[in-house]
Amino acid sequence: MKNFLDDNFLLQTPTAQKLYFDYARQMPIIDYHNHLPPAEIAGNKKFINLTDAWLRGDHYKWRAMRTLGVNEEYITGEAGDEEKFLKWAAIVPYTVRNPLFHWTHLELKNPFGITQLLNASSAKYVYDKAGELLQQPGFTTQGLLKHFKVEFAGTTDDPCDDLAYHRQLKEQGFEVKVMPSFRPDKSWNVTGGDAYLAYIKNLSAASAVNIVCIDTLLEALRKRLDYFHELGARISDHGLQKVPAVLDLPAGAAEEYKKLLRGDAVDASPWAEALQGHLMVELFKMYHEKGWAQQLHIGALRNNSTRMFRRLGPDTGFDSIADDRQAAALSMLLNRLDSTNQLAKTVLYNVNPGLNEVLAAMTGNFNDGSIKGKIQFGSGWWFLDQLDGMEKQMNALSGMGIISCFVGMLTDSRSFLSFPRHEYFRRLLCNMFGNEIEQGLLPNDVTWMGGIIQDICYNNAKEYFGV
């Protein structure tokens, strides 16, 4: 019987162990999509305690705590930091078989060196020990990025952002490349009422463009994209419940949009999807022109509890999986750009496991020999970045695409302690290859297979994103 979280965690065969320890473990990390706050990196934040570093903003943990009956007072409420941590620790034993159980103990082991299982009995020791370490220079935001051998971190940023902290990091000469990614989704949320008009006002100010119509909206977005590019951005990102199935504006929509911007009472719902499709096509052309990569995160059903959305806002643990049909609309969108040779490098992610084969097969439709793995089926995302989800994603990619081109793992996280997710992924990847070598399904050539492992863990992403 194996011990939990020992050195061979997830590595079931000697060949898997060799692949991990000789090839995967030492590779640096390119974390090309995350939600780390640039201000905290530029300021080299020192965390007050483990709650500050680990629980604040982590809606994965919040969701589990609510499920296990913890009052909101101890999650997002006014309870003290230690009280919140003790409540979290008490429910950890009941998260078994959820990825949180593995992530929690991986993150305590690295970087804190804590190997005790977290529970109500060990909570005080863990909180105090981690709290002491967090006051040391190696546990600041910049210290943690260096500890985890992060070479590149791609943050997620709104076009209105002035990117002052990215500029500050560049001036500091911080050895980890922290670059912005362009996330313009708010620009087409025309059914958002006053919030949308306020956003357009902010975008006008940031771009110095008076946005009065769709053309000036695109002008403003282009100016902000140029600004992002100057500061090192080479990646965009879009979060979509469903891919727009209409890419051309209907008659009258442009005039209706002008009226909406003037503050007139306009029902934008009949043409909202068409506006989104039109803007995405035009933005995708800009990305191609710049040589960027674009990411499409498809299929999240967000803010399901309107009661809690009104109380806490978005990204607080009330999102789930949508079941919209995506294939035809996605094909139409990609084909529109491909038909004029304006399709940029594209990474497709799904949160609905039923779309694994759909997206894996879709990638092959638009690879054109111009770059290895131009259209990528991205790693298991959100509800799928766990053992079963990641394995199914890689099996679908292997069966319907070419896994040796895969750009590998990302954290998609707001936490500076989340980088052991790369270790989790690498161990699983090595176990899959190692098991198949020992079963005779792959050649028993560890040097050859180890090279492919290193490509998936690091080399492919470095080449693909140009970082």
CA dihedral of 371, 375, 379, 384, whole degrees rounded to 10 = 180
Q: Are residues 35 and 101 in the same domain?
A: no
Write down the residue that tokens 């001036």 correspond to.
171
In a domain, 3, yes or no: no
**CA angle (185 as vertex; 181, 187 as ends), nearest 5:** 115
Q: Are residues 313 and 395 in the same domain?
A: yes
Domain termination residue (choose one: 92, 122, 138): 138
Q: Are residues 282 and 315 in the same domain?
A: yes
Q: Are residues 214 and 93 in the same domain?
A: no
Work out how many domains the chain is built from and give that number.
2
Q: Are residues 39 and 55 in the same domain?
A: no
The strand pairing partners of 235, in sequence order, are: 293
Q: Are residues 293 and 159 in the same domain?
A: yes
Quick one: pLDDT band at residue 108, thresholds 50, 70, 90? very high
Tell me the Cα Rg of the chain.
Answer: 23
Domain termination residue (choose one: 138, 156, 179): 138
**What gap in Å lies between CA 174 and CA 276, rounded to an integer?**
37
Write down the residue that tokens 């009280």 correspond to.
83
Domain that holds residue 81: 48-138
Half-sphere exposure of 40 (CA within 13 A, CB side): 19
In a domain, 447, yes or no: no
In a domain, 238, yes or no: yes
Q: Helix %, strand %, coil % for the chain, to 5?
A: 50, 10, 40
Pull the structure tokens for residue 344: 């940029």
- DSSP structure string for 90-145: HHGGGGTTSHHHHHHHHHHHTTT---SPPSTTTHHHHHHHHHHHTTSGGGSHHHHH
Domain termination residue (choose one: 84, 119, 138): 138
Q: Are residues 258 and 360 in the same domain?
A: yes
CATH number of the domain residue 418 falls in: 3.20.20.140
Q: Mean pLDDT throughout 303-307?
A: 97
Q: Mean pLDDT throughout 6-24?
A: 98
Pull the structure tokens for residue 266: 């306009």
The strand pairing partners of 178, in sequence order, are: 153
| Among the listed residues 408, 363, 405, the one whose alpha carbon sits nearest the alpha carbon of residue 385 | 408
Average pLDDT, the chain: 97
Beta carbons of 108 and 114 less than 8 angstroms apart: yes
Write down the residue that tokens 């040796």 correspond to.
404
Return the pLDDT at 2: 86
Q: Give tens-digit pLDDT for 131-171.
A: 999 999 999 999 999 999 999 999 999 999 999 999 999 99
Phi, psi at 293, each rounded to 5°: -105, 145
Q: Are residues 59 and 42 in the same domain?
A: no
| Among the listed residues 364, 391, 392, the one whose alpha carbon sits nearest the alpha carbon of residue 376 | 364
Is residue 158 helix, strand or coil? coil
Beta carbons of 181 and 154 less than 8 angstroms apart: yes
The strand pairing partners of 377, in sequence order, are: 348
Q: Give tens-digit pLDDT for 315-328.
A: 999 999 999 999 99
Strands 300-301 and 320-321: antiparallel
Q: Are residues 334 and 422 in the same domain?
A: yes
Q: Give tens-digit pLDDT for 215-261.
A: 999 999 999 999 999 999 999 999 999 999 999 999 999 999 999 99
In a domain, 459, yes or no: no
Position 364, amino acid: G
Q: Are residues 228 and 105 in the same domain?
A: no
CA dihedral of 86, 92, 94, 100, whole degrees rounded to 10 = 150
In terms of residues, how long is the chain?
467
Return the pLDDT at 400: 97
Return the pLDDT at 195: 96
In a domain, 143, yes or no: yes
Q: Are residues 260 and 364 in the same domain?
A: yes
Return the pLDDT at 1: 80
The rounded Cα 166 to chain-centroid distance in angstroms is 19
Q: Are residues 250 and 284 in the same domain?
A: yes
- DSSP structure string for 292-345: -EEEEEE-EE----HHHHHHH-SSSS--EE-----HHHHHHHHHHHHTTT-PPE
- Which residues, 6 or more positions from 30, have their beta carbon under 8 angstroms from its beta carbon? 150, 151, 152, 408, 458, 461, 462, 465, 467
Pull the structure tokens for residue 2: 């194996």
In a domain, 6, yes or no: no
Return the pLDDT at 185: 97
Is residue 237 helix, strand or coil? strand
CATH number of the domain residue 91 falls in: 1.10.2020.10
Return the pLDDT at 428: 98
pLDDT higher than threshold 90 for residue 101: yes
